[in-house]
Amino acid sequence: MAEFTMELNDEQKEVRDWIHGFAADVVRPAAAEWDEREETPWPVIQEAAKIGLYSLDFYAQQFFDPTGLGVPMTMEELFWGDAGIALSIVGTGLAAVGVLANGTEEQIGTWVPQMYGDANDVKVAAFCSSEPDAGSDVASMRTRAVYDEAKDEWVLNGTKTWATNGGIANVHVVVAVVDPELGSKGHASFIVPPNTPGLSQGQKFKKHGIRASHTAEVVLEDVRVPGHCLLGGKDKLDERLARAREKAKAGGERVKNAAMATFEASRPAVGAMAVGTARAAYEEALEYATTREQFGRPIIDNQGVAFQLADMRTQIDAARLLVWRASWMATTGKPFTSAEGSMSKLFASETAKKVTAQAIQILGGNGFTREYPVERMHRDAAIYTIFEGTSEIQRLVIARTLSGMPIR
């Protein structure tokens, strides 16, 4: 088990500097253009693929970093470059993790490579869980998967929403209800292969921020997928459902919601994204405050500005420490007895909103224009308090964990 440390080792520093260089040299110069276009930045993703940054191998190396700091370090540097483009680069990872966590070795080997493609023909994948009436409340999910035993096929019907890469993905991973009576315990995940009839893109959302990332509805109308596209296989599913039915019948032990547990473990990565955006805005504000003169002196000489910058840096460092602690705990198998994953996401996302707003204030009228990047960073930061569980949900999870109440 890796000991907790706040110092990156030499290899991690080398990787961090490599990612930072890509973010500075490739991502940032393209950020404003793709934000305005509101389109997937395929050329940037391809550049990331060419150097190995957009690949399963790279993310697997970071995911299995024994210190737990590989993923948050990667997220912070990429999102320091630009949140919208970064989400386009890392969004496929959501679907890949879903397969890696629940799939068989054969499924992993078959589908994950198809999610990324290669440097000459990059692909993306989509993880489809949220629905119009089921976001944080996963128990309200309505998308159904019915098994056709005669054909050994699953038939999927429903509508997913807020899907990153939804409809444009080569591979979709869809969470659906297989036993409505079991609530959230009656869910399963399915691979929908490329060009499967019945899957279509619904509404593409025009968003306030992260506009370079494609977000859309995914409509499933009698989508038929082979039996081997059920992640984990049918035997494993039948065993899990049988256990859930027995416990429900006995009225005994309450099983923690699996989806909520997964979200709790992945939330530090979202916190790291928020730290990256906050750090970028702080650095812009600091540079501006040291060079912009009013009344014959740099504005940082004014206590009102200086104190804001001091608070911004303090909050960013505190957020990073919470993210690193939670990431280390998740990797080393330490239980989140106080919902440390939600704590890190809550504090970091609120910090990003606050710091980016303060950056605009420090830049004054310039900060309110698109000539300076803090305006875009402020729009991007708004999403962190919403996706992967709103700040209100994080507080609810933390409070219920502390009190011992079930997280449903």
CA dist 76 and 57 (Å) reads: 19
Which helix (H) or strand (E) element contains residue 315? helix 303-331
Whether the CB-CB separation of 172 and 126 falls below 8 Å is answered with yes
Whether the CB-CB separation of 157 and 227 falls below 8 Å is answered with no
Annotated catalytic, 388?
A: yes
**How far is Cα of residue 65 from the mean position of the Cα atoms in its chain?**
18
Q: Which residue has the tokens 């606050």?
A: 354
CA dist 302 and 292 (Å) reads: 12
Query: Considering 264, 340, 375, 388, which one is annotated as catalytic?
Result: 388
Which amino acid is it at 159? Answer: T
Residue 232 CB contacts under 8 Å (≥ 6 apart), including other chains: 102, 103, 104, 188, 189
Please list the residues that pair with 145 across neighbouring strands.
156
Q: Which residues of 264-276 are buried (b: 16+ CB within 10 A; e: fewer)?
A: bbbbbbbbbbbbb
Whether the CB-CB separation of 169 and 117 falls below 8 Å is answered with no
Please list the residues that pair with 226 across neighbouring strands.
153
Which amino acid is it at 291? Answer: T
Which positions are annotated as active-site residues? 388
